[in-house]
Each structure stands twice: as structure tokens, then as C-alpha cells.
Structure 1
Amino acid sequence: MKGRIVWVILFSVLGIFIAIFESDKVFDFSVLSFSKDGSTNKQEEVKKNFLTFLEQKKKITSVDDGVSLIAVGDISYSRGVERMVKAKGDINYPFLEIKDYLKNSDLVFANLETPITEGREISDFEMVFRSNPGTEQALKDAGFSIMSLANNHTPNFGERGLLDTFACLDRVNIVYSGAGKNNEEADAPVYIERKGIRFAFLSYNDFDVVPAYYEASENRAGTAFMRIEKMNENVKKAKENSDFVIISMHSGTEYVDNPNNSQINFAHSAIDAGADMVIGHHPHVVQTVEEYKGKFIFYSLGNFVFDQSWSQDTTEALLVKIYFTKNGISKISFLPVVSDNLVQVKVADREEAKKIITRLKLSLDESFLYFWNNGKGDFEKETRSVIYQKELVSKNIFSKEESADLDNDSVLEKYILENGVIKVFEMGNFIWQSPVDWWVDDFALVDSDNSGNLNLNLSLWKEGNFGSSKPFWIKENDMSIKNHFFIYEFSVDKEFKQVWSSSNLAVPNCEFKIGDVDMDGKNDLIVIEGSYLDDFSCKGNYVAVWKWNSWGFSNEWRSESGVFSNLELEKNNNETFFTVDFSR
């Protein structure tokens, strides 16, 4: 008899748990409804608390999603590069180990130091270059979006070679600057926009490194020359029509560590005219970086893909990643790379990276990169060289827009986050929005529960620890405003269904990303954790990795304490790392 009573009690408790779980799953959050627990006075107090929270949240400095630009050095698929690519049977061979890193940026810029045109094979000791058609597709597949053509080799095969190059790049939608069918086109700013931020690119070739007939004229294709007066006019024009003006110059003394007077004078003039940054090429080695009037000049980024393996310096290069917001440049990070096996770009090892960074002659800050060590079964940390342009704070993203097909109907939905509310549209039709008594900090369209389908993942703030039901042992719902993490799926019947929702998190997530960082084939939740003592501004104290376990997330790893911000996932050679900014 006692045994039956025990079983009845157990099944009753189980039934209560199921009822609680199911009621939370179907709870309709689409209607504004503050807690119904307690008196009207309590409801009014809760409502007042949420409005106070909104006022405080909106006072926090907002950060737009921002745009990242990677700039690299000289690229040529001619001579030895062409032969190595043929030997490997893969036109993408030079980029195989670096393309993941490049593709993780919104824009990727390089100096294309070759025409793309049909013609004879170029021998190792010739000083003219030519790359085969198809090179443009390799560049596109590697993530490149804009090229400078103002250099001493793009016109090596005359007007025909230039026109063929324009056609090849146009075919794969790679934008180019510094060359054109005439001088008006060659000198004109080229505009490109990402996430509401508009960039103008202007590229120029030094008189000293090319014959005079390489300059474009009224009736001849060619490149733009470094004429300071003309450049000043173009910069002012570009400034009126863009948020940022970026200048590329092809100038300097080859194989020398420091810039010459021509480089310095032109770069200073560009910034005096209003340019926001100058990126240099031609010396084939990494040169110094200068901060001039608060703007940065990268005099030479070295060879990116080139066949100059006769010197260690000419096999070293620098990738510069610049982070733009509508308020300016927030950060610049540096990734030293080397050419392996003649032409394949790889991340430099620790000692070589230190040597390359030293060439910059610049005082740098540090960020942290964490990677999974299979042998130790743990995350390890490396430092990265960066320049912080602004005070380090966690991203308070007030606006963000992404598209994805969560219901697998071959039609993309558009997800728009604006001032704490996320709205979803499909083919212009409104589908869903988050409740008005939530504040959504950020979202991600990623498979977080490893189901094989994309989810809508939300980091949000709301009152109330539970939904319409609470566990019977809890006397009163906690109606304070706390951070939560919710997961939704978008079904074929065009409804958002809750997959999982947290109660009040013990500490708020200031930022989050989702990706496989421990190399087990399953996505992880990576977060910067803050404190509720920070009045909703959320200053990062720890970095943590959480693992989905079919009923929720369990903690896999947590960093040492610190001041962390700007969490990013970084991919390289089929591995995923996470990086954070760190201040002492």
C-alpha cells in the first residue's frame, strides 16, 4: 500500500512538472501583460519598474552593428604563383588556409598587381605580370570585395589587358578603384556600402614607379597618378558623399623598411584633405605605421600572394582589420601572416608574428584570442596586437538587421532589431515581433540546439522569473527586471515557437555568439558575463562557454576575471576561435 502511495505521489509530481513545462511553451508573450500575481498596486509597481528600466537602457550609449574591413597587401597570380597553382590543381590554393578569416569581414581590400587577361606564360625573371581569367573567381571565393588597380603592373598588357581586367572583376562583382577606361573613371571615387555605412575608395599610382603612358587620359584606359591637387579635389568630393574616405597609394622604395618622402608627403596631404585612412603598397615588405592627426597611415602591408620567396621579409605580410561605426573607427587589429610553400598564406607563428609587428614601430594594445587545445582538453589564450580608438565597452546594439530562411521555404525572412524590439518580415509582410514588455539586447540566427535547423536566439530583459505558471515550491514570482536567453524556431505554418527559455540568469550576458569553438562538431554558446550591479550597462567580468545538453545549457568553461568586451568569433583553416578586447 505504501509503495502505491509513493508511486501516486511521484506521478503527480511528474504531472505537475509536465504541466509547468508545457504551459511555459505555449504561453502567449505576444500580448502586453505584466504579472497577474498580487494586487493592482503590485502590477502598477512592476509596470513602473519596467518603464524605469527602459529609460535607463536608452540612456546607455548605443553601438551600431558596425562594419569591418580587412586590408591586405600585393596580390599577383603571375609567374611562380601561376605555376604553383597549376601544380596543385587548385586555383584557390593560395587562400585555402586564410579564406575563413577573410570571409569573416564585411569588406576585404587588396592591391591587385596584375592584369587578368589571356596570353603567354610569364617566366620567373620577367618584370611584366599576367594572370589567367578565373583568377577573379578565386579572389571572389576568398572573400575579396574591392581592389586597387593603381599600380605598375596592371597595365603591363596595355589597354586590352586593362579592359579584360575590368570585365573579369565586373563579372564577379568585385569593385575596383584607381583605374578606368579614361581619366575621369580612373580618378573617380568608388563607393561601397555595408550596414548603412558608406565608404569611398580612391587609389593612386606614384610617378616614380611607372612609365608616363600608364596614366589614364581622356581617350585612353589607364591608372590614376598621385597628383596631390587632383587627389585633394577627389577627397573633398568623396567626403560629401560617404561616411569614410580610404586612400590607397602605390609608392615607396622596394624592400626598404621605412617610407620615403613621396609616400609621407602624399599620405599627409590625403589626410589633410579629409581622408580617414591611407593604405600603402609597392615596397613588397611590411613598413612602419604612422598616426597622423589622429588618422592612421599603413605605408606598406607587404606581399600577400606573390612569388618572392628569396627573402624572409618578402614572404611576410600584415592583415589589418579595421572596425568602423557611424561614430568613427573603434578598433584596428593586426594579423601577421607568411607565405608557405612559395605562395600559400598562413598565420605566422608566435616568434615570426612578433618580428613582423616590431616593424610597425608603433605602441600597441592587446586583445585575447582563445582556442581549443585538444591535447589538454581546455581553452588556451594568446594575445593579439590591436589599437583601441575608443573606450572599451560592451556592445549595446540598438539596431541590427539580418536575413535567413528559418522555415526552409527558400524565401529569406528579414530580422530587424531596433530600440529593443525585434521584428520579422517575409517578402515585405509582417510576421512577428517581440513583446513590448521585453527589451532585446541582441539576436543570432544560428542552430543553437544542434537540431540541424536555424534558430532565432534572443538575449533579452524582462520582468518575471517564470511564465504563466511557476513551480509549486516558489511562493512568489521574482518580478525584477533580469536578463534571459530564449530560443525560437520558425515553423512552416509561419509561427514562432519557443524551443527553450531561461529563467532569470544568475548574471547577465553582456554579449553572446554561437559557434563550435571546442571542435566537437556541435555549436556552443559563448558569452561575456556581467553583473546586475552595473545598472543594465553590463560591463564584462568573465568570458564563458556553455554547451547545449538537450534540456538547457551547462557551463563548460569560464575565463579568469577581467574587463572584457567586443566578443567575436574568428575562423581560420576550418577552426573557430573567439576573441575579446581586454582592459586592465
Structure 2
Amino acid sequence: MRDYLNKRKYTILMGVILLLAAILIVAFCLPFKGEGGEGSLPTLESVSLPESPSEPEEPPFEPITVRLRAAGDNLIHSSIYNQAKARAKDGGYDFGYAYENISGLIKDCDLAMINQETVVAPIYEPSDYPCFNSPVELQQEMLDLGFTVFNQVNNHVLDKGEKGILSALEQWKTHPEALVTGVYENEADYENIRVKEVNGLTFAFIGMTEMTNGLSLPEGSEVVILHTAEEEKIKTRIEKAKTLADVVVVNTHWGQEYTHTPNDGQTSLAQEMADWGADLIVGHHPHVLQPIQWLDASDGRKVLCAYSLGNFISAQDKGARMIGGILDVTFTKETADAHPIITSAGLIPIVTQYDGGFRNIRLYPWSSYTPELAKSHGVRNNDSKFSYDFIKNTLDTVIGAEFLEE
């Protein structure tokens, strides 16, 4: 009997517990008064879940532009360095007078380069043609003007022999802001292609020469000079430069002196270098202007070639050699994955002026040159046809309206 009562109590107790549990479940599931009102339970629809953080949007690509200007042969005859010596107040050489009229043309760009025709080797005294050497103050003057890239390889690179080259390269090291191309201490130095970043674009610079005036390096020399005849080396060098930079610029010392027409060797090599990957080809050596031309590269790029920029400054004795130019080129990278292209190109003409006896040698931009200056030019003692109209006709004939700038 006792067992029966205990079982009955247990059954009743379990029933009560189950009933209470059922009531609680039903009560919890039934909606409260008012939808979303006080005392109601939140629904999924009424809960605002925090948004997951999204990746920040990258700003749109802004086109990159770099304005590059290139000058021709900086040919320092004794008349130029002697007047610089006479103008120096505390000894040394002051080249400021010769260049002051065109200084703004060099500073008004992002990147400026020049062909330094004469060696600057401090172990030797300054010297004139046929074996040039220039005072060290010339380097500082060029840097002050705004040049930072210097092509040092040309037909006068061996004027002071291997010792002169090594002395010049050591002297350039005192100006770490300068980038010097075309002649190298050894093979390791040669393999170090000169590269410079400007405004987010990277430029690689290559220099070469066709001739060295019959002079050569001594047997066993480690110095490296790239010659235009070494086409496989040039191709390899340009292709390597393309892996290092957005833009490949080639300085080439070539052609025939004192002629306005490029020869077959120039035009053939220019096309090959364009096909190999060069983006801009700048020529030197003829000492007079030669045409500027667009080349169609094999990969579809448009490559600009200026066959000769003439003299930057000199004390030569013929009228055509007084006319030079500063190449003015703008590179633009339109999109993040685009190859930079040349979006504007022109030549800023300049004139070397001097008085009788090669005195007061100085430069003028063509835009400020006058017929009166042309009439008083000392070059007329050797070349009577030189005149203001002679300059204008030369510019119109050789360069033409497409590339002439004021």
C-alpha cells in the first residue's frame, strides 16, 4: 500500500511540473500587447545589427606628368673658361655670365639633362681643342642651373686618357645629386644602369658614342664605354633598363659633324633602339641642329628622336654652330596600368652670342634674341651670312613648325 501511495505522489508531482513547463512555454511564445511596444520581446526585424566593416575605397588614379628638358653639347673652349676665370672675384672660375640668360629654361621643368662634351678631370689643368679639359667649377654651375643628368660619353671622352676618365668620375662623386651616364669605372659600375624617380615615374638613362677621335683605352683597362657599333650590348642594355624603369632615355653621340641631315647609320640605329624599347632618343655631336622625328616602334609605341640638339654653348666660328636647342618633352601616365607616353614635345631654340675676338660669350633664348644682336655677333667675322633671318630660316627648315617653341 505504501509503495502504491508513493508512486501516486510521484506521478502527480511530475504531472504538475510538466503542466507548469507547458504554461511557461506557451506564455513565452505568445506575443505581448502591442507590436514593438513596452514589454514586448524584440524580433529579428526590429534588431539593427552592426554593419560589417568594408574595405576602404582606393582613391581614383591621378594622371602623372613629368616635364623633361635636354640640352646639347656643353663645349667649353678656352675663351669660355678664360672669361670665367677673369670674372671670378676670389679666384677660381665663375661661369654664371655665360648661362644666366637661359637659366630659367632649365629650372622650369621636373628633370633636366645635358651632354657634357668636355671632361672635367681635376688632376689636369684646363685645356682647349683638340684635347679638352674643363675646370671643376663648371660642374657646380650646371647643377646650379638645374641639370641633374649628365651624359659624359662622346668623342672627347678619352681626351685625357683613362686617368682623365677616372679623375672625372671621382670628381662627379663629390656631387651625389648628379647622375652621370655613358662611361663607367668597371663592369660592375656599367651593370648599374642609372635610374631616377621623378613625380612617381622612374627614368632609366643610357649613353653611348660612335667615336672617340681615334683614342682608345689601354690594354687591360677596366673602364667601360658603350659604342654604337655594339648593337647586341645596346639591345641587352635597353631591355634591362625597361625592367627597371617606366621610361628609357638614350643619349647617343653619332653622325657627321656640321651637317643638318642625319645619315643612314643614325636613322637605322634609332629605329632599332625604338623597337628594343627606348622611349626617347637624344642625339649629339654634329654641333648643329638636326630634325626631330616620331618613330613607330614595333610594339606600337610612338618614340621621339631628336637627332642633334646642336651646341648648348661653344666658341666655334660658324653661324650654324651658334644655333642650338633645348628639347622640351612631357611624359604622361594616364592610368595606373598604362605605359607613359609623350603628350607634348618641342624645341626651345637658343643662340650662342659673342663679341669680336670671342669676347663675352653668352647664351640667349631665341624668344629674346634680336636682329641687332645678330648684326653685332663676332661670328660674322668668319661667316658673313649669319643674321637674324639666317637663324629663323635654319629653325624653320631643320626643325619645322611641328616642334618649334617660342
Rounded to whole Å, the distance in 2 between the matches of 1:187 and 1:363 is 40
Please list, as runs of the form range in 1=range in 2, the aligned pairs for 1:299-310 lying within 5 A after superposition. 299-308=307-316, 310=317
- Using the TM superposition, give the Cα deviation of residue 206 of structure 1 relative to its aligned residue in structure 2, in angstroms: 0.4
- Using the TM superposition, give the Cα deviation of residue 131 of structure 1 relative to its aligned residue in structure 2, in angstroms: 0.4
Indicate the structure with greater strand content. 1
1:427-456, CA deviations, whole angstroms, 9 ceiling, x for partnerless residues?
xxxxxxxxxxxxxxxxxxxxxxxxxxxxxx
Q: Which residue of 2 aligns with 1:313?
A: 320
Letter in 2 for 1:182: N
Please list, as runs of the form range in 1=range in 2, the aligned pairs for 1:269-280 lying within 5 A after superposition. 269-280=272-283
1:325 to 332, 346, 349: 332
Letter in 2 for 1:122: S
Q: 3-state DSSP class of the match of 1:171? A: coil
1:129 to 132, 157, 176: 132
Sequence identity (%)? 25
1:41-74, CA deviations, whole angstroms, 9 ceiling, x for partnerless residues?
xxxxxxxxxxxxxxxxx99x9533x211110100
- Using the TM superposition, give the Cα deviation of residue 214 of structure 1 relative to its aligned residue in structure 2, in angstroms: 4.5
Q: Which residue of 2 aligns with 1:281?
A: 284
2:153–2:209 contact (8 Å) kept in structure 1: yes
Letter in 1 for 2:148: S
1:164 to 163, 167, 171: 167
Q: Which residue of 1 aligns with 2:304?
A: 296
2:208 to 204, 211, 227: 204
Rounded to whole Å, the distance in 1 between the matches of 2:287 and 2:264 is 17
Letter in 2 for 1:354: K
Q: Which residue of 2 aligns with 1:335?
A: 348
Letter in 2 for 1:120: E
Matched pairs, number: 305
- Using the TM superposition, give the Cα deviation of residue 122 of structure 1 relative to its aligned residue in structure 2, in angstroms: 2.6
1:234 to 223, 237, 243: 237
- Using the TM superposition, give the Cα deviation of residue 169 of structure 1 relative to its aligned residue in structure 2, in angstroms: 2.1
- Using the TM superposition, give the Cα deviation of residue 363 of structure 1 relative to its aligned residue in structure 2, in angstroms: 5.0
Rounded to whole Å, the distance in 2 between the matches of 1:305 and 1:68 is 23
- Using the TM superposition, give the Cα deviation of residue 189 of structure 1 relative to its aligned residue in structure 2, in angstroms: 2.4
Please list, as runs of the form range in 1=range in 2, the aligned pairs for 1:469-508 lying within 5 A after superposition. none
Distance 1:68 1:220, change over 3 A: same
1:224-276, CA deviations, whole angstroms, 9 ceiling, x for partnerless residues?
21111111011111111101001111011100110112211221111010100
Q: 3-state DSSP class of the match of 2:101? A: coil
Q: 3-state DSSP class of the match of 1:156? A: coil
Rounded to whole Å, the distance in 2 between the matches of 1:356 and 1:228 is 33
Q: Which has the larger radius of gyration?
A: 2
1:85-129, CA deviations, whole angstroms, 9 ceiling, x for partnerless residues?
123332222211111221121111111111112323435xx3110
1:163-220, CA deviations, whole angstroms, 9 ceiling, x for partnerless residues?
221122221221111101124534652101111100001000104x5336259x8743
* CA RMSD after TM alignment: 2.5
Q: Which residue of 2 aligns with 1:354?
A: 392
1:131-164, CA deviations, whole angstroms, 9 ceiling, x for partnerless residues?
0122211111111101111111122112221122
Q: Which residue of 1 aligns with 2:363?
A: 345
Quick check: 1:101 aligned with 2:124?
no
1:184–1:218 contact (8 Å) kept in structure 2: no
Q: 3-state DSSP class of the match of 2:398? A: coil
Rounded to whole Å, the distance in 2 between the matches of 1:266 and 1:169 is 30
Q: Which residue of 2 aligns with 1:251?
A: 254
1:316–1:338 contact (8 Å) kept in structure 2: yes
What are the ranges of 5 or more consecutive residues in structure 1 without an aligned counterpart? 1-57, 367-383, 386-584
Q: Which residue of 2 aligns with 1:443?
A: none
Distance 1:153 1:180, change over 3 A: same
1:67–1:194 contact (8 Å) kept in structure 2: yes
Rounded to whole Å, the distance in 2 between the matches of 1:225 and 1:212 is 13
Rounded to whole Å, the distance in 2 between the matches of 1:268 and 1:113 is 25
Q: Which residue of 2 aligns with 1:16?
A: none
Q: Which residue of 2 aligns with 1:221?
A: 223
Rounded to whole Å, the distance in 2 between the matches of 1:156 and 1:365 is 35
Distance 1:315 1:340, change over 3 A: same
Letter in 1 for 2:303: K
- Using the TM superposition, give the Cα deviation of residue 76 of structure 1 relative to its aligned residue in structure 2, in angstroms: 2.8
Q: Which residue of 1 aligns with 2:87?
A: 88
Q: Which residue of 1 aligns with 2:195?
A: 191
Rounded to whole Å, the distance in 2 between the matches of 1:159 and 1:142 is 29
Q: 3-state DSSP class of the match of 2:216? A: helix
Q: 3-state DSSP class of the match of 2:82? A: helix
Q: 3-state DSSP class of the match of 2:121? A: coil
Q: 3-state DSSP class of the match of 1:152? A: coil
Q: Which residue of 2 aligns with 1:364?
A: 402
- Using the TM superposition, give the Cα deviation of residue 312 of structure 1 relative to its aligned residue in structure 2, in angstroms: 1.0
TM-score by length of 1: 0.49
Rounded to whole Å, the distance in 2 between the matches of 1:356 and 1:142 is 27
Q: 3-state DSSP class of the match of 1:96? A: helix
Rounded to whole Å, the distance in 2 between the matches of 1:204 and 1:182 is 15
Quick check: 1:268 aligned with 2:271?
yes
- Using the TM superposition, give the Cα deviation of residue 286 of structure 1 relative to its aligned residue in structure 2, in angstroms: 0.4
Rounded to whole Å, the distance in 2 between the matches of 1:278 and 1:77 is 24
Rounded to whole Å, the distance in 2 between the matches of 1:254 and 1:108 is 24
Rounded to whole Å, the distance in 2 between the matches of 1:174 and 1:255 is 30
Rounded to whole Å, the distance in 2 between the matches of 1:184 and 1:266 is 26
Distance 1:107 1:214, change over 3 A: farther
Q: Which residue of 1 aligns with 2:143?
A: 140
What are the ranges of 5 or more consecutive residues in structure 2 without an aligned counterpart? 1-58, 89-93, 297-301, 334-339, 371-387
Rounded to whole Å, the distance in 1 between the matches of 2:346 and 2:304 is 12
